[in-house]
Structure 1
Amino acid sequence: MTDSTALSTSPRLLDQVRGKIRLKHYSIRTEQAYLDWIKRFICHYGKRHPNEMGAREVEEFLTWLAVEGRVAASTQNQAKSALLFLYREVLGADLPWLENVEQAKTPKRLPVVLTQAEVQALLPRLSGTHWLVASLLYGSGMRLMEALRLRVKDVELSRKEILIRDGKGAKDRVTMLPTTLLNPLKAHLLKVKALHDQDIAEGFGEVYLPHALDRKYPNAAREWGWQYVFPSGNRAVDPRSGAVRRHHVQDQAVQRAVKQAVRDAGLVKPATPHTLRHSFATHLLQAGYDIRTVQELLGHSDVTTTMIYTHVLNCGGRGVKSPLDME
């Protein structure tokens, strides 16, 4: 197959990839990432069609990423997942086990954790929605996207709990809603309700529903309970359906706000929104809470993942007293 033929068939191939991804209800971010890696793979081999290639080319490409591209292990794994999806799900070819791939080494680093004093210095440097989101991350242990994708119906104010649906690993879990945030959250939801009512009055008011729920429940997309707790300030066109909707706040905006707050607070640690989740877990363990409880609140499948936070429990080198401090 010539390069020109490959070019002419590539759009159809990518449309097939999109169709399979959407059939499996993968997120828009996964769709974009997979398409980017597939394009990069095709271009790496002079725009040859993937049908002309197979396990050897995939192995060589992934090895090249690790050795020449020096990508992180997580980046290489994402590329591997994208290419396996292409061959198995779209082209119907089951690749042999990729045992010859040079794996990018995963560095064993401890997470960045803020002290309680540093958290108290950071949060006041934020305001409005950014402050509320960051406070929820630290106060409940949610991941950033879990917080931004929260629906009104999943916030239980009376029981002071939050139901996190379809979290990492497609799992649901329940975490706490800090008492300190009850009144700020109530005030915030009143503003969001007024914004939703305005959208309805102007002929809009729909929100994205996962897993084709919009077909099962045609009116749910306009209902108050399904709206995002943290909606965007502007309506936008859904890239998949073409519908005009109000999406949630962009994660990049929160990340930028936290980064600026870290500077303003004079913190030297490279803190991000995810650092607040790490700090949540660490501070609960320091306060004496059972590690299994913390594991459930974080949504970890294995307690060994949660155990990474125990490195701070015995301060000073696993609780060993330095000889310099001995009398």
Structure 2
Amino acid sequence: MTDTRSRVLIAGSRTFADYPLLCATLDRLLAGRGPVAVVSGGAGGADRLGERYAAARGLAVERYVPDWDAHGRAAGPIRNREMVAGCALAVFFWDGQSPGTADAIARARKAGVPVEVVRYADPAPPPGTPAPPARAVPQATPVAPPAPPTGGPPPPPAPRLLDRVRDALRVRHYAIRTERAYTDWVRRFVLYHDKRHPDGMGAAEVTAFLTHLAVEGEVSASTQNQAFSALLFLYRHVLGAEPGKIAGVVRAARRRAEPVVLTRPEVTAVLRKMPDPYRLMCELMFGSGLRLMEVLRLRVKDIDLDRAEITVRMGKGGKDRRTVLAEAVRPRMLLQLDEVRRVHELDLAAGRGRVWLPEALARKLPGAAAEYKWQWVFPSGRLSIDPRSGEERRHHAHESSLSRAVTGAVAAAGLSKRATSHAFRHSFATHLLEAKYDIRVIQELLGHANVETTMIYTHVLNKGGRGVQSPLDAE
């Protein structure tokens, strides 16, 4: 006989303990639905209360317990994928932070399952419990309105301000680095004004905060502009309002520093002090003109050894471009690609091996994430949890590890210049100019939108106003 029961997933964070709220929410959502079977992840908190609700209402329970022995840390995401399949509804009681619940929510939505998310605040600790350290995120949750007199269920609490900011950024497909930066600026803005909600603030408060950054914080002009962009995003796309005319802001001084350029002997001395894969990374910056993050975000398919070419995807400004691949790096690149394949095959054997892909591409090509050609050229040595999906995967190497390697190699080589990883890119452009390549060609290889940006490298060639001979050198 065919089972006609609707499968309803009830899950959420382990800290959820509000059984009356769960009952009221589920009674409202399941009214008139007919026979129901409750699907549970078998964890504490919301999952356990969902099973209690099912027992009280005489409903069947399907429990999906993660197999940690077989799948290790990937067991949770695998369990989530299996239990959302075929559900008619998924109800989550989420604290806004649990990565496991975030992963289950994302998988349910991807599977086309109708999703109801009930946000809640962590419960207060029992009397006598020491207060936890202050959280960096300001608690700006609006107070929920009282329950209607008809005795209906209370509405779920409104999401916190920073959660709303994150949601707005993700809907617009902003990068994770931008998301972290913008939410941090909103947090600092709220804390600067004694935790007042931005709904009650406007142009005057924005002006005061930006002026504080320049005068007391002594931030750079680019940092101040980023803070301004974050606050404009908050008001326009989260609060749905204009802050008003921003005037009278004390602007941070804009200083254009001369790029640090290394000679060929200096580059060689630094590279000799670097182990692989960091040496190969720096050779790509010096030999191909790549930025630090462009190197780290390279995928196997972006390397064309036959054409001696690199394709840079989503560079600065979201643009793609092609640049040269030096013949000198071919042997080390082949060894690195062999290492990538070895690590990827081990990950696949362990039930992992799915690399991060942009959301639209992941939907269009669901199997691409596990293919070798989409893997990072410089994968991290450890697995990590995706902050958005909660899925465990291998990301690319972290920028801080490369920066530390460059700093150490520069010191070991005895250079007196304050050279960072970006000095290799500066040197790429300068040496091409010295070799008489057309500046428009160099502009294209570097990915500059404006040729004036490329012109800063002419300082090494003594072009323009500085192309003069000192009187002391005159015969």
Using structure 1 for the length normalisation, give the TM-score: 0.95
Q: Could you say what secondary structure the match of 2:323 adopts? A: strand
Q: Contact 2:141–2:161 at 8 Å: present in 1 too?
A: no
Q: Distance in 1 between matches of 2:159 and 2:458?
A: 50
Q: CA deviation at 1:95?
A: 3.2
Q: Distance in 2 between matches of 1:11 and 1:126?
A: 48
Q: CA deviation at 1:89?
A: 0.9
Q: CA deviation at 1:173?
A: 0.5
Q: How does 1:20-169 map to 2 (within 5 A)?
A: 20-169=168-317
Cα deviation code 1:165-223 (max 9, x no counterpart): 11100100001110001121011101110110110011000111013321221111101
Q: Which amino acid aligns with 1:12?
A: R
Q: Contact 1:6–1:49 at 8 Å: present in 2 too?
A: no
What is the aligned counterpart of 2:456 among 308, 311, 315?
308
Q: Distance in 1 between matches of 2:298 and 2:434?
A: 28
Q: Could you say what secondary structure the match of 1:215 adopts? A: helix
Q: How does 1:200-219 map to 2 (within 5 A)?
A: 200-219=348-367
Which residue pairs with 1:184 in the alignment?
Answer: 332
Q: Contact 2:439–2:454 at 8 Å: present in 1 too?
A: yes
Which residue pairs with 2:392 in the alignment?
Answer: 244
Q: Distance in 2 between matches of 1:43 and 1:316?
A: 48
Rg larger in 1 or in 2? Answer: 2
Q: Which amino acid aligns with 1:301?
A: A
Higher mean C-alpha deviation, range 20-29 or range 244-253: 20-29
Q: What is the percent sequence identity of the aligned residues?
A: 57
Cα deviation code 1:117-172 (max 9, x no counterpart): 21111111101111010110000000000110011111111001011011100100
Q: Contact 2:383–2:394 at 8 Å: present in 1 too?
A: yes
Does residue 231 of structure 1 match 2:379? yes
Q: Contact 1:112–1:270 at 8 Å: present in 2 too?
A: yes
Q: Distance in 2 between matches of 1:6 and 1:184?
A: 51
Cα deviation code 1:13-49 (max 9, x no counterpart): 1111111111111111111111111000000011000
Does residue 196 of structure 1 match 2:344? yes
Q: Could you say what secondary structure the match of 1:162 adopts? A: strand
Does residue 320 of structure 1 match 2:453? no
Q: Distance in 2 between matches of 1:316 and 1:264?
A: 36
Q: Could you say what secondary structure the match of 2:410 adopts? A: helix
What is the aligned counterpart of 1:172 among 320, 340, 346?
320
Q: CA deviation at 1:317?
A: 7.9
Q: CA deviation at 1:321?
A: 2.2
Q: Distance in 1 between matches of 2:285 and 2:358?
A: 23
Q: Distance in 2 between matches of 1:190 and 1:97?
A: 57
Does residue 7 of structure 1 match 2:140? yes
Q: CA deviation at 1:243?
A: 0.6
Which residue pairs with 2:148 in the alignment?
Answer: none
Q: Distance in 2 between matches of 1:262 and 1:315?
A: 29
Q: CA deviation at 1:229?
A: 0.5
Task: Spell out structure 1 runs of 4+ moving beyond 4 A.
Answer: none
Q: Contact 1:142–1:298 at 8 Å: present in 2 too?
A: yes
Q: 1:11 to 1:262 in 2, by over 3 A?
A: farther
Q: CA deviation at 1:316?
A: 12
What is the aligned counterpart of 1:284 among 432, 440, 451?
432
Q: CA deviation at 1:325?
A: 2.1
Q: Distance in 2 between matches of 1:16 and 1:194?
A: 41
Q: CA deviation at 1:224?
A: 0.8
Q: Could you say what secondary structure the match of 1:212 adopts? A: helix
Q: 1:186 to 1:97 in 2, by over 3 A?
A: farther
Q: Could you say what secondary structure the match of 1:128 adopts? A: coil
Q: Which amino acid aligns with 1:154?
A: D
Q: Contact 2:221–2:252 at 8 Å: present in 1 too?
A: yes
Q: Distance in 2 between matches of 1:110 and 1:211?
A: 39
Q: 1:217 to 1:211 in 2, by over 3 A?
A: same
Q: CA deviation at 1:7?
A: 3.4
Cα deviation code 1:248-273 (max 9, x no counterpart): 00000000000000100100111011
Q: 1:6 to 1:198 in 2, by over 3 A?
A: closer
Does residue 269 of structure 1 match 2:402? no
Q: Contact 1:231–1:248 at 8 Å: present in 2 too?
A: yes
Q: 1:203 to 1:108 in 2, by over 3 A?
A: same
Cα deviation code 1:102-129 (max 9, x no counterpart): 1101112211111122111111110111
Q: Distance in 2 between matches of 1:102 and 1:161?
A: 46
Q: Which amino acid aligns with 2:162?
A: L
Could you list the runs of 5+ residues in structure 2 that have no partner in the other structure?
1-137, 143-157
Higher RCO, 1 vs 2 (CA within 8 Å, ≥6 residues apart): 1
Cα deviation code 1:276-326 (max 9, x no counterpart): 101110111011111000000000000000000001112898332222222
C-alpha root-mean-square deviation of aligned residues, in Å?
A: 1.7
Q: Distance in 2 between matches of 1:256 and 1:11?
A: 39
Cα deviation code 1:66-101 (max 9, x no counterpart): 112111111111111111111111111123342321
